[in-house]
Amino acid sequence: MERIIKERSTQVHTIGTSAHDLDCEKKSLAGSVSQRACVFCGSRVVLYPIADALHLIHGPIGCAAYTWDIRGALSSGPQLHRLSFSTDLRERDVVFGGEPKLYTALTELIEAYKPKAAFVYSTCIVGVIGDDVEAVCRKVSAEQKIDVLPVMAEGFKGTKKDGYKAACDALAKLVGTDNEFQAPPFSINILGDFNLAGELWMLKEYYEKIGVNIITCLTGDGRINEIRQAHKASINVVQCSGSMMHLAKEMEEKYGIPFIKVSYFGIEDMADALYEVAGFFKNNEMLQKAKDLVSKEIKTLLPALAPFKEKLQGKKAAIYVGGAFKAISLVKALRLIGMKTVMVGSQTGNKDDYNLLKKLCDEGTIIVDDSNPNELSEFVKEKGVDLFIGGVKERPIAYKLGIGFCDHNHERKEALAGFEGMLNFANEVYASVTSPVWKFFKR
Amino acid sequence: MLLNHTTSKIVERKALTVNPAKTCQPVGAMYAALGIHGCLPHSHGSQGCCSYHRSTLTRHYKEPVMAATSSFTEGSSVFGGQANLLQAITNIFTIYEPDIIAVHSTCLSETIGDDLGQIVSKAASDGKIPEGKHVIQAPTPSYVGSHVTGYANMLEGIVKYFAKKSDNLKNQLNILSGWVEPSDMRELKRILKLMKVKNVLLPDTSDVLDSPMNGKFEMYPKGGTTIPEMVSMGDSLHTIALGEWATEKAAINLDNQCKVKFSMQDLPIGIQATDRFIQSLAKLGSVSVPESINDERGRLVDVITDMHQYLYGKRVALWGDPDQLIPLAEFLVDMDMKPVYIVSGTPGKTFEKRMEKILSKSVPEAKYKNGANADMFLMHQWIKENPVDLLIGNTYGKYISRDEKIPFVRMGFPIIDRIGHSYFPTLGYMGGLRILEKILSELMDQQDAACPEESFELVM
């Protein structure tokens, strides 16, 4: 591994051989071909699924163009979130300030679309030219009588993670604004699911079957009015801990709503999620229903997985995803279909996540934080990997190396959560790993 | 109805772009830089910019796209990004070992006043650029122009740095390519070879963004214009610049710097634009047009003749970049079609003049607009007022196509939901044939799917 940048050596760890703790939550080195994105990206992906809100991006056109309908976050109703709105700042605005343009754009948009609320994202340059986005939002909010929420997402202020926080800050202003609402018993909020490929709808069905009521999902298939009522839930069930922990913590502090961290990926984690919620409500009937549901699902799922497992037994996988919490579930799910994880990494994992991964994975597994294509391809070659799990930028690299690929990011086309999702996952992995195309070249 | 928000009443918008028909400069600079051999593009700004551009190019080409970033922090945005760029240059040459780093700026680094030229000179005088290695740069403020401007600025940066005039005039032409696909650059090379014209093509993304599967990940694929080729551009006989928006700056620079005169031409899309290209190649390269090229032209004209009844009078809406739209509109008119609506987010005054010349006589009802507010929302409103038979443009037209049930041919950047553009050119006579085939397939598929049973025809 001679081509790892010296300064990066503390962010790579091989289980059983390196003594040091994995260094993480560091800024990327200048000059690296990092797979990471920015603050704006983090806030945009989190808030994007709120379908009846207006999302206006205050900045030059790029930030809006690149985030136009890129996330398969499905809505059961309005599709307003899939349009791209930008103030399209020009040189003149950069010199004289973009506030008038922002004001006019917001007003025009709200009058035309009558959204339930508006999110205004400030981008890098807005932070530098000194537009008072908050003041413009306040003004328009007063005039139009709707919530206009600034999302302070200047790209350079940190990593995607800081963007998650900016998004949570904006959401926190909505939560608790509807006090009329009376929550039915056993009410929860789902935090950190984005309804990619309709996954939330599957989860909802599971929860409903065991007698749990969902007030809102933040933010998959999200609606402003439901978010306002979120503080009436008994518990927050948090997935993708990276993106929504801030809000969960804030709601705990402000409204005394406890939270649990769950994952919906893989049989074990999915079942645990249901059991934990039932356990929280200390309701035996609910727990029994959860057990029944799980055993019924497993009864059909395991035999369906068996043929895949047989073919995939002993194959090796590499994982490189946004958050490390997701990676933990992936390691377990891969095990369920007979596969071994030999490399696992994330863009923004924290110490706890990485320590968990260290415990979970076998000796010799490489764990890496904030990696780059060079490192990734070296690891993959060194370990003789058969499958790569990652996002849009990793896919073509894996294919060029002749390795199967599964998108576990925005571009997943099949639901991967829940029990059905596990079968989809196995099917997708199997199809890619055993594709006949691999026989046309030597690895 | 994904776009049920679009109203047919056209509202005057003052400060708002909805569903843009453009993106920002840096992605163009990145694409242009990928067309020189052994080059790592570098984005001087926040990490997100680089990530977005790489993702967009990856979605369009289904290929790995490598680029580095200065990874701006709050500190860099206050104290300037010089330290980041200097460190980046050192790191990149140590780890990624490119021959060339092509730095472009972003809205952030431009606004805080970073001077790329000055920082790169400092890197050179501090000995941070190893011998035989190069750092080139281009300013690409995202709030000026569009992605095409970024491409143009990087091309200018490349020739400014590399092209040298020596005493030995070379018997070759410079071909500055506008923003086209790897397949098109390959097609240009094929035509030039058939014409027996010695040349340097800049940039050249073939064998970079259409690289074969061989079980290896290559940071620097084999394609791209080489350094000796770029240096020699200063000694060429003449420059043919294809596409005013993308190549004029570089062509002017070559003229000023090395006294290589240039001819500004359209991208060779369709019959007339390709005729002009071939004629100037023949004249400037002092060669005659081989029969094989005349035959290609003849075959294209032949197919238009055969299928004219399906083309005649069809109303077409197009969007994209001016360099493509101008010759494409001309081609459509030549095929007796009616390009009635045309939008481009890319500003530039000659757009209207050129379109007027092409359209005023044959399609007087045509509406065209570029620059501010010339977006897909406006396009959709025009279509709602009075529909069209066909859409031609990048992937973002698919919403309109679905909602309004209009056949749709994908052309332009980005195409993130279909393949083919990397492999099958739209330039030259053969490219014209491909455009024609795609148009006919879409129109005739639609006819087959929608016509009443009694008029469903076997022979068409």
Residues of chain B with CATH 3.40.50.1980: 25-162, 173-288, 292-454
Between chains, do A33 and B67 touch, taking CB under 8 Å as contact?
A: yes
Size of interface A-B (CB pairs under 8 A): 251
| Rounded CA separation B77/B45 (Å) | 9
Residue A31 has pLDDT above 90, yes or no: no
Place A258 in a pLDDT band, splitting at 50, 70 and 90. very high
DSSP-derived secondary structure for A101-163: HHHHHHHHHHHHH--SEEEEEE-HHHHHHT--HHHHHHHHHHHHTSEEEEEE--GGGS-HHHH
For residue A300, which amino acid is it? T
Which residues of chain A does B17 touch, with a Cβ-Cβ cutoff of 8 Å?
61, 64, 85-88
> What residue has token string 């289980």?
A15
Domains, chain A, with CATH or none: 39-165 (3.40.50.1980), 187-291 (3.40.50.1980), 313-412 (3.40.50.1980)
| CA-CA-CA-CA dihedral for A32, A48, A72, B415, to nearest 10 | -60
Which residues of chain A does B221 touch, with a Cβ-Cβ cutoff of 8 Å?
none
Q: Which two tokens stand for residue A45?
A: 């992906």
Q: How far is A39 from chain B (nearest CA, A)?
A: 8
Average pLDDT of every residue of chain B: 95
Mean pLDDT computed over B225-247 = 98
Angle of helix A284-312 relative to helix A267-280, nearest 10 degrees, comes to 170
Q: How many helices (H) and strands (E) does chain B have?
A: 17, 14
Place A436 in a pLDDT band, splitting at 50, 70 and 90. very high
Which residues of chain B does A40 touch, with a Cβ-Cβ cutoff of 8 Å?
48
Answer yes or no: are the C-beta atoms of A73 and A195 closer than 8 Å: yes
Closest CA to B97 of B35, B54, B30, B39: B39
Q: What is the pLDDT of residues B13-40, one digit of tens each?
A: 777 888 888 899 999 999 999 999 999 9
| CA-CA-CA-CA dihedral for B384, B386, B388, B393, to nearest 10 | -50
Answer yes or no: are the C-beta atoms of B42 and B71 closer than 8 Å: no
Considering only CB atoms, A60 lies closest to which of B85, B142, B211, namely B142
Between chains, do A62 and B55 touch, taking CB under 8 Å as contact?
A: no
Place B2 in a pLDDT band, splitting at 50, 70 and 90. low
Between chains, do B211 and A155 touch, taking CB under 8 Å as contact?
A: no
Mean pLDDT computed over A425-441 = 93
| Rounded CA separation B53/A81 (Å) | 22
Phi, psi of B246 (to 5 degrees): -90, -25
Between chains, do B5 and A83 touch, taking CB under 8 Å as contact?
A: yes
Between chains, do B92 and A399 touch, taking CB under 8 Å as contact?
A: no
Considering only CB atoms, A392 lies closest to which of B27, B58, B76, namely B58
Considering only CB atoms, A84 lies closest to which of B18, B53, B59, namely B18
Q: Which residues contact B146 (CB under 8 A, 6 or more apart)?
A: A61, B22, B23, B24, B25, B28, B321, B345, B346, B347
Residue A279 has pLDDT above 90, yes or no: yes
The arrangement of secondary structure in B173-288, i.e. its CATH architecture, is 3-Layer(aba) Sandwich (3.40)
Q: What is the pLDDT of residues B42-55, one digit of tens each?
A: 999 999 999 999 99
Q: Which residues contact A193 (CB under 8 A, 6 or more apart)?
A: A199, A200, A203, A217, A220, A239, A240, A264, A417
Geometric angle at alpha carbon B145, from B121 and A47, rounded to 5°? 100
Considering only CB atoms, B20 lies closest to which of A40, A64, A90, namely A64
Residue B187 has pLDDT above 80, yes or no: yes
Closest CA to A66 of B45, B24, B173, B391: B24
Between chains, do A31 and B17 touch, taking CB under 8 Å as contact?
A: no
pLDDT for A443 equals 66
Interface test with B, best of A9, A11, A38 (most B CBs within 10 A): A38
Residue of B nearest to A109 (CA): B16
pLDDT for A33 equals 83
CATH class entry, domain B25-162: alpha beta
pLDDT for B306 equals 97
Q: How far is B181 from chain A (nearest CA, A)?
A: 18
Between chains, do A79 and B214 touch, taking CB under 8 Å as contact?
A: no
Q: Which helix (H) or strand (E) holds B340?
A: strand B338-344
Q: What is the pLDDT of residues A106-164, one digit of tens each?
A: 999 999 999 999 999 999 999 889 999 999 999 999 999 999 999 999 999 888 889 99
pLDDT for A424 equals 94
Mean pLDDT computed over A382-394 = 90
Between chains, do B47 and A3 touch, taking CB under 8 Å as contact?
A: no
> What residue has token string 């390196």?
A18
Q: What is the pLDDT of residues A160-180, one digit of tens each?
A: 889 999 999 999 999 999 999
A392 versus A424: the higher-pLDDT residue is: A424
Which residues of B114-215 form beta strands (DSSP E)?
134-138, 173-177, 199-202
Q: How far is B288 from chain A (nearest CA, A)?
A: 42
Strand partners, B173: B199, B238
Between chains, do B52 and A157 touch, taking CB under 8 Å as contact?
A: no
Answer yes or no: are the C-beta atoms of B271 and B334 closer than 8 Å: yes
Q: Which two tokens stand for residue B89?
A: 């240059």
Closest CA to A395 of B61, B96, B423, B63: B63
Interface test with B, best of A29, A74, A156, A374 (most B CBs within 10 A): A156
CATH fold, domain B292-454, is Rossmann fold (3.40.50)
Closest CA to B344 of B243, B416, B412: B412
Interface test with A, best of B16, B22, B31, B403 (most A CBs within 10 A): B16
pTM of the model: 0.94
Q: How far is B119 from chain A (nearest CA, A)?
A: 14
Place A1 in a pLDDT band, splitting at 50, 70 and 90. very low
Q: How far is A233 from chain B (nearest CA, A)?
A: 32
Place A227 in a pLDDT band, splitting at 50, 70 and 90. very high
Q: What is the pLDDT of residues B394-444, one digit of tens each?
A: 999 999 999 999 999 999 999 999 999 999 999 999 999 999 999 999 999
Between chains, do A393 and B54 touch, taking CB under 8 Å as contact?
A: yes
Angle of helix B270-284 relative to helix B428-450, nearest 10 degrees, comes to 170
Answer yes or no: are the C-beta atoms of B394 and A65 closer than 8 Å: no
| Rounded CA separation B285/B283 (Å) | 6
Q: What is the pLDDT of residues B301-343, one digit of tens each?
A: 999 999 999 999 999 999 999 999 999 999 999 999 999 999 9
Distances, alpha carbon A144 to alpha carbons A120, A267, B15, in Å: 15, 47, 18
Answer yes or no: are the C-beta atoms of B239 and B259 closer than 8 Å: no
B239 versus B16: the higher-pLDDT residue is: B239
